[in-house]
Amino acid sequence: DMKVGFEVPVVPGEGEGLIALCRFAVANGLAFVNLNELEVSETNCQALLARGLHVRSDVSSAIEGSERTAMAVMEEVGDAVPVHFCSSSFKDRVQLRERLKRRAKRVARPLDLVTSEGMVLLGVVETQDLEGAYRLLRDAHGVPAELMAIERGRLEVAPWVLEALAPALPFPCFLVEEYPTADRLEVERRPLG
């Protein structure tokens, strides 16, 4: 069951036009209206400046007054049609998480788990004898080669495998969460065993 609606950027001072769009949505049976906080970009910067619009702060790309205009529109329209406001910071977080998820799914190996936040979860064994640890897991515990890898000075193991085996292993074991990027920035590390 597909729902039809529309989304529109909120230009400060254009509340009357947005109210008219919302009334159009009601009159035509649309299911929702999404009001997006207006953001400055390379492609619209000159046009926004020419209209006298400015960013809200040095650390935001959101345009001053966009959120205020959206709130006024939502108050005026009431419950006639579901109207949602999407702030630039919320949109950035959602888009980043979705990008991370797509990338994580693309780069994940059989030994990696992709979390709901788009991070890669893996087991890590730290020891001076990586080859010995690899052989121990393979030969004594039957861990398949595709669920292990010696990379970046450590033995990486499928997290579900390492969780089960860690108490019986003679070296430090961890569950590690990393960004699915080239530098694999570590976000969290939990000791096992």
For the chain, percent of residues with pLDDT exceeding 70: 100
DSSP string, 83-109: EEEE-HHHHHHHHHHHHHHHHHHHH--
pLDDT in tens, 167-177: 999 999 999 99
pLDDT in tens, 83-138: 999 888 888 788 888 888 999 999 999 999 999 989 999 999 999 999 999 999 99
The pTM score is 0.63
**CA gap 52, 59 in Å, rounded:** 19
Amino acid 67: pLDDT? 92
Inter-CA distances, 123 with 1, 119, 191, 192, Å: 41, 13, 10, 9
pLDDT in tens, 37-71: 998 888 888 888 888 888 887 777 888 899 999 99
Q: Which two tokens stand for residue 178?
A: 């990393």
CB-based contact 112:179 (threshold 8 Å)? no
Torsional sign, CA 66, 67, 72, 78: positive
Mean pLDDT estimate for the chain: 91
Amino acid 46: pLDDT? 86
**CA gap 64, 38 in Å, rounded:** 9
